[in-house]
Amino acid sequence: MYIEMFHQMKKMLGQMNTWLEAASAYAKAKPFDPSVFANLRLAVDQLPFAKQVQIACDTAKLSASRLSGKDAPVHTDTEQTLEELSARIKSVIGYLDGFTAKDFEGAATRVVTQPRWQGKVMSGADYFLEHAVPNFFFHVAHTYAILRHNGVSVGKKDYLGELSLKQP
């Protein structure tokens, strides 16, 4: 189950990269500085675009790290351009590419915690299903929505990406 979900996370991160390319092309066509996207948000109390991308990346890499016991790459959260955000996405995809199903043996029963949980813990299975997966898709969806809301021509097919359709 874990390797398949991380495969989907990699796919969605790849889709995010295509949205960044679309945002760059949109900015060039208007024209305006594409770095404007970094601070856009849907609501005043929402985290800005760059932070949405950073958290989606962090959720993917840190959940893989916590479930496998492997160290995750460190990112400094200083990205302010589409190119810098793209580099971060590619870094996380590369990190996730290094995992096999064997890396997640015992993940379901691994004890997971985070500093903001104030000493509380979850099983790996609960953490992944109740926190990591929903949190990842929350931030991916907000990344998409911020771009869409601000005029970037992305649609549902751009969100979903290529499907593994087969003839019956």
State mean pLDDT over 113-125: 93
**Predicted local distance difference test score (pLDDT) of residue 68:** 97
- Domain of 125 in residue numbering reads as 2-159
Predicted model pTM: 0.95
pLDDT-derived band at 1, boundaries 50, 70, 90: confident
Count of domains for the chain: 1
In a domain, 130, yes or no: yes
In a domain, 165, yes or no: no
**CATH number of the domain that residue 18 is part of:** 1.20.120.450
In a domain, 10, yes or no: yes
The rounded mean pLDDT for the chain is: 96
Task: For residue range 70-103, list pLDDT tens digits in order.
Answer: 999 999 999 999 999 999 999 999 999 999 999 9
Q: What is the DSSP letter of 42?
A: S
**Predicted local distance difference test score (pLDDT) of residue 21:** 98
H/E run at residue 122: strand 122-123
For residue 105, what are the CA distances in angstroms to 102, 129, 142?
5, 16, 32
In a domain, 166, yes or no: no
